[in-house]
Structure 1
């Protein structure tokens, strides 16, 4: 499904591009933003997307729409982890990645399963892949901190703990619907500050 949407988007299909943006919001688990975004689609597609979002929250096992297949697998995997069914959870996360290799939460959750059973290198590989896709996910940095603690690399452990703390304390910025990631805040260029300070000095000391 994802590959087909990408192929269509590259060919100039606006609807496919919009659906890719919708999927990015699903990957980020920003269902509220996904619901708002879905309201902009034509009626039939809008109803399809809203129904899928409702089933994700209420009854994911009943969700058969291929557009939601990867997210459904992640949701079911998390539910299996909570109930202690680790093998089933791993199968769900692997299934999600087969459907959508860019699903960073599937990578993170699978990595955590590997971390729990002591397969540190496999967990690190998955976390690093997820980090490239979602560098501002605080949970991912917390998991990396836990991993580096077990590896005995205290410098990297502390670095990721600090990063996770900063991300949690920072006011959330809007999600970019194209990437599903937090939009980077625009920084004021240095020259602007220099200009403002020079102007202030001029006004203060103007004869």
Structure 2
């Protein structure tokens, strides 16, 4: 009878060779990626170019080198590396996010929209990579004149992290959503930002929108804030 392996041994034996290889590659590349900043990009590039062939030709190694080049404003050298990484792994999230940003920066909003749409499917919702991809996707869609689609993306960003976008961009998206008949989604955004915006007209509009939809409880709260803001503005103008 064979001895029963210890839990750690049993766990190790169940891991596929491919996964072990991927984890080994990631353990070598992650420290370089974590050190990567605009200031360290040139040095990390040198180290990335010294990686063994197995690592340098892997999608993670190719993407790392491309990222060092992007941070040094060398997009022409970075793009072929990102495309090579995606030829190895079409779903490589980091390469998709970086390629989409590169395409957007050079003015190819159509290509950027397609690439970034692929990217957001590969990254965890609410992660830094997801927020970066969604932010660039919203800008690409706006550039293409697809305001409603862009507003939906902004709403998705807002739901993931409320403070990621400037209030003005959120208000713009809410205005588009309301214009397209999506009052509920517009209200969701406006309730989160109207106090920080501090615009009396916006606060009044939100209060009236809530009242029109029969949400009298929240309308009363916003009207109270409106009256307080109007009183403060009146006192301020009277004191000058």
Residue of structure 1 in register with 2:87 after alignment:
98
Task: Report the Cα offset of residue 166 of structure 1.
Answer: 2.4
Task: Report the Cα offset of residue 145 of structure 1.
Answer: 0.7
**What are structure 1's unaligned runs of at least 5 residues?**
1-11, 24-37, 39-44, 171-207
Residue of structure 1 in register with 2:118 after alignment:
129
* TM alignment of 1:5-154, pairs within 5 A: 14-16=15-17, 18-19=19-20, 23=22, 50-56=27-33, 57=35, 59-64=47-52, 66=54, 69-134=58-123, 136=125, 137-154=130-147
Query: In structure 1, the residue corresponding to 2:161 is in which secondary structure?
Result: helix
1:156-181 superposed Cα distances (whole Å, 9 cap, x missing partner):
222212212322359xxxxxxxxxxx
Residue of structure 2 in register with 1:163 after alignment:
156
Between 1:154-163 and 1:67-76, the stretch displaced more is 67-76
Task: Report the Cα offset of residue 65 of structure 1.
Answer: 5.5
**Count, aligned residues:** 135
Task: Report the Cα offset of residue 135 of structure 1.
Answer: 5.9
1:87-110 superposed Cα distances (whole Å, 9 cap, x missing partner):
101012112112222101211211
Q: Is the 8 A contact 2:62 2:85 kept in 1?
A: yes
Give the Cα separation in 1 of the matches to 2:14 and 2:55: 16
Give the Cα separation in 1 of the matches to 2:102 and 2:117: 15
Task: Report the Cα offset of residue 129 of structure 1.
Answer: 1.7
Give the Cα separation in 2 of the matches to 1:169 and 1:17: 38
Query: In structure 2, the residue corresponding to 1:102 is in which secondary structure?
Result: coil
Task: Report the Cα offset of residue 84 of structure 1.
Answer: 1.2
Give the Cα separation in 2 of the matches to 1:62 and 1:100: 22
Query: CA separation of 1:53/1:142 partners in 2, compared to 1, >3 Å: closer, same or farther?
Result: closer
Superposed CA RMSD in Å reads 2.9
Give the Cα separation in 1 of the matches to 2:106 and 2:28: 37
Task: Report the Cα offset of residue 144 of structure 1.
Answer: 0.8
Q: Is the 8 A contact 1:131 1:140 kept in 2?
A: yes
How high is the TM-score relative to the length of structure 1? 0.55
Q: Is the 8 A contact 1:55 1:63 kept in 2?
A: no
Query: In structure 1, the residue corresponding to 2:87 is in which secondary structure?
Result: helix
Task: Report the Cα offset of residue 19 of structure 1.
Answer: 3.3
Task: Report the Cα offset of residue 61 of structure 1.
Answer: 2.4
Q: Is the 8 A contact 2:135 2:157 kept in 1?
A: yes
